[in-house]
Structure 1
Amino acid sequence: MRPQDSHQEKLKTRDLGTSSGNYDYSRNLDSINTMSSSFISEDSLPDAASEKELGNEYFKQKKFREAIDCYSRSIALSPSAVAYANRAMAYIKIKSFQEAEDDCTEALNLDDRYIKAYSRRATARKELGKLKESIEDAEFALRLEPQNQEIKKQYTEAKSLYDKTILQKASGAQENSVQEMRKVGKLDTKVNGQSIQPVSSSAQITEMTAVQDHTKRNNTTRNPEVKASVQELASRAASRVKAVAAEKITPPNSAYQFEVSWRGFSGDNARQTSLLKAISPSALPQIFKNALTVPILLDIIKCVATFFVEEMDLAVNYLENLTRVPRFDTLIMFLSSSDNADLVKIWDEVFHNEATPFEYAEKLDNLHTKYCLKR
């Protein structure tokens, strides 16, 4: 009997069995499910690789949104650095630069040496106006692949744009300063609403003593005011330090969250310190995984140096756990000579000076080797 005939016989038998009104349909449910699944060919099921390839085809046809859909399915099936970076490129094409930056960051979480992810994130960040971060990405990519002409061009363009922006800001600040000086000059030509008239030389001599006496009296009156002003500023500064210390900062769960918060607190050492202290030292490897960058690493070390003397045990714990971050060795290997010089200076002047207690000095000696400091 042919297999097809056998299958037909089974169907007939099942039909006869169903003539009973008391037939238990649930009894053969598993068999039905097994049979129905057998009709679905494994070849017809989508997989991450085929979805990625289909996305590439759509990208070549400039159907970027369709490509994004395919890359998204590929990522859902099996996340990969290539799929994230490809989707980032498609996002760049439709000018969704924030999504592109996020995808590149995810790609680098999976593969911290993926050149295209650095390059595409540099592009996205440049378009978002994050010029300093764009330069950092291009610079790090060049350390991995120094002869890459495309990335050299990216670096040059971002650096040129950044320098131009700095010059424009400086020029604007200077112009504002000149305008303020002019305003002050105009205001100084009047006292209590009365115009100041030129004074003859004889009158100048006559009035000199009176002016000196007035100045002395004026200074005597203003000195307490100046002291009060300084005390007020000191009081405000102290209040701010207390307020920042008491401020509740949510600990970040990922390198991306940390970097966003850290850069948001740029120039505010108190808040950056509070952000770092919100993280347990032992959590650093889990948070950063493969996403720690040289600038952030150096920033953290500099931050730790600010509270090293007051909280030595905590500071050493941070330094120890930084060495356990997966890409720490790679970052240290690619430190520039200037970065290494900064690190040596911090180490010698703060972490390992004559005042460092013996129990910490021994730990810091061991860490010195891991940080590969070159003198």
Structure 2
Amino acid sequence: MDKALGIQKQIRDNAKTVNNYLTDLQNWEVEMKRKEAALNGQFEQDLPPVRSRAKKEKPVQVAKKKQEERIHSSDYQAWEKFDVEKACEEVDMADVGPTSLDSKRSESAKLEKLREEAQYEKGRGNTFVKLAKWDEAITCYNRAIELVKDDAIYYANRGLCYLKKDSLHLAESDCTEALRLDPTYVKALQRRAAARERLGSLRAAATDLTRVLELEPKNNQARTQLSALKTRMGTKGSKSKSSPPSPLSPSSPSTPVKETKPVVTNIVEEKPAIKLESADDKWRDGIGENITVIKPVKKPPHLRSKRPLKPITIKEIQLGKTTIEKPPTRLKIEEIPDTNGSTDSNKTEPERLTNERGDFSPESTKLVQDAVTKEKDVKSLTPPVNSVQFMTQWKELQGNADAQSDYLSIIDPCKIPSIFANALESSVLSQLVSVLHAHAHKFSRVTAYLQALCNVKRFSALAMFLSVEDKQHLTKILEHCKTVENSSDEVIEDLKNKYEL
């Protein structure tokens, strides 16, 4: 949007420049004709008129344009023919006024208008600063700087906003630009000193504060800040450059140097004080317990990671336990005698021993365990209310098509559009089609699910990304709907059009 506005402004400026050039050219042509007529003797002398025949010059009346009829709001054809650029140019020319012969008056009027607009944007930015809305204030100051680039106040105010947002390098550069335009701007010096102090450039910040005290000796805030900086740098109480040289300095050879005896002092190392931790501190740090305590990490905003947050499943564990209880890995199988009274005489000896002892191979044990856990997971499933719940459960069932089909079967087809809203993705749509194709026998009405997916927002865009395999699955699903569910031909044709088959 900003680029489009910039292009429009450039077009208007170019049109005004051409108009001024043509006006100057026309005036020059008239002047040349007048001089040529004077050289040829055709110049009429400007003599006073005959008495009583003098005609008063009538003021030049500017022909008023007829006020055009306003276009009615419902007249769309007239609005299509309306030239917006020409109307904007007429408004701008009415504000600036007719161009003069040398274009100086028009240029000054333009500059004055630009400064008024810049002052307006600055006032808006100051209002946002009072409300602590730094981003909006920066936008206003950016517009003011685009209009007038030689005003130090705009740069200094924008530097204050960057300083409040912890954008320290940008704040320093803006204050530097403001000081380039006005080296005696005290506020810019103070704000640059604050930015440099927080960036760690203590000497540069001290230089700025010293300059502030030179300009305003009664500035107590700058004096306090400078003393704090000197304390941090370890220079508080040191002699300045204007102090007299010391006797040991090589610049004063004539002064006698007294011999000083070295004084030996014993330095006693102080042992760090042992901090006694209370019971609450031990509990917070997890001392004496076999657990890992996760503490929050405090970082400034400019050092924090920009990566998106990942959801982590939190499970409750009783205090003192380090592992999560898992379901048993072995199942005890009991023999059930046949009604005819027959036993396992037909089985081989290893098979009967396996049934008696309950020993299984690792592969069979894993298959039985997965079957039990999947059966428990399917029983514990509940219909989702929104897309977040659906995607969370759907990802947990990833790789288990049977469980996904069971989960999809407990969802009412009428609620699918409200569950997904705008969150349906092409990959999820492809997975849903694959599940419906592979497990169509589990659903009472597959047609209802296909129709419900068509009612999801942005479905027409998602249907464009269906692969060839997905469309083959959809063709077979529609055959199932026609033969097994006895869906009408109109419904089948409608679904083919919507899925672009």
Shared fold per TM-score greater than 0.5? no
Q: Which has the higher contact order (CA 8 A, sep 6+)?
A: 1
Greater Rg, structure 1 or structure 2?
2
Task: Name the TM tier (shorter chain).
Answer: 0.3 to 0.5
TM-score (norm 2): 0.30
Structure with higher helix content:
1
TM-score (norm 1): 0.38
